[in-house]
Amino acid sequence: MAGGKIKKEKGKPASNAPYQGGISFHKSKGQHILKNPLLVDSIVQKSGIKSTDVILEIGPGTGNLTKKLLEAGKMVIAVEIDSRMVLELQRRFQGTPYSNRLKVIQGDVLKTELPYFDICVANIPYQISSPLTFKLLSHQPAFRCAIIMFQREFAMRLVAQPGDKLYCRLTVNTQLLARISHLLKVGKNNFRPPA
């Protein structure tokens, strides 16, 4: 992601703290939740979500991004591998106006047949970056765009130009199938635990 520096607001009330739901995070599942609400807002704003959009979120975790996506779009379909997170998501949104606009699929996104969606917005576990990118690029019917948080080096490979040090087979294969741009640079301290 590229552009804009995200600054933490000083003196924010505790209600703005990231929702962790008492869950311990497993690094092996790439569980680094977004803890900066301003960053979450910025991602949603840069995604250009329409109120009619069906949004695919991969790895919703405890739902900090999910909540903002629900506010912006018509429906969120979230695919999450960890049953503890699925339970926490259900608890968090149960009985709220969002509950009938959120569908949670428990499973490995790489093995899940994806439903129709207009746009994908996700802070993904970095270890699935490559297979997930190619799964999305071959998804039919085509969707409008995907806004995905990648590890910096992977993101730089996606946007590399001929002659750049990071220009590689991944660059060529992805740029053949999509127009790719870098939206935002995100520091590791925006994640819990730091990514």
Residues forming contacts to ligand SAM in the complex (CB under 6 A) are 29-34, 58-61, 64-65, 79-82, 85, 108-110, 123, 125, 128
Min dist. Cβ of residue 194 to ligand SAM (A) = 12
22 labelled binding-site residue:
no
Q: Which of 185, 184, 189, 164 is nearest to 175 (CA)?
A: 164
80 labelled binding-site residue:
yes
41 labelled binding-site residue:
no
82 labelled binding-site residue:
no
Residue 100, CA distances (Å) to 14, 31, 77, 109, 157 in order: 28, 26, 11, 22, 39
Alpha-carbon span 123 to 102, nearest angstrom: 17
Cβ-based nearer residue to ligand SAM, 110 or 177: 110
Min dist. Cβ of residue 121 to ligand SAM (A) = 9
Cβ-based nearer residue to ligand SAM, 16 or 164: 16
Cβ-based nearer residue to ligand SAM, 79 or 155: 79
What would the two tokens of residue 52 be? 């009619």
Min dist. Cβ of residue 65 to ligand SAM (A) = 5
Alpha-carbon span 79 to 50, nearest angstrom: 21
Min dist. Cβ of residue 68 to ligand SAM (A) = 10
Q: Is the dihedral of CA 66, 5, 148, 109 positive or negative?
A: negative
Cβ-based nearer residue to ligand SAM, 32 or 101: 32
Residue 62, CA distances (Å) to 3, 158, 159 in order: 26, 28, 30
Cβ-based nearer residue to ligand SAM, 153 or 164: 153
Residue 101 and residue 70 in contact, taking contact as beta carbons nearer than 8 Å:
yes
Alpha-carbon span 134 to 138, nearest angstrom: 6
SS3 146: strand
Min dist. Cβ of residue 126 to ligand SAM (A) = 8
34 labelled binding-site residue:
yes
Annotated binding site for S-adenosyl-L-methionine: 32, 34, 59, 80, 108, 123
Residues at the annotated binding site? Answer: 32, 34, 59, 80, 108, 123
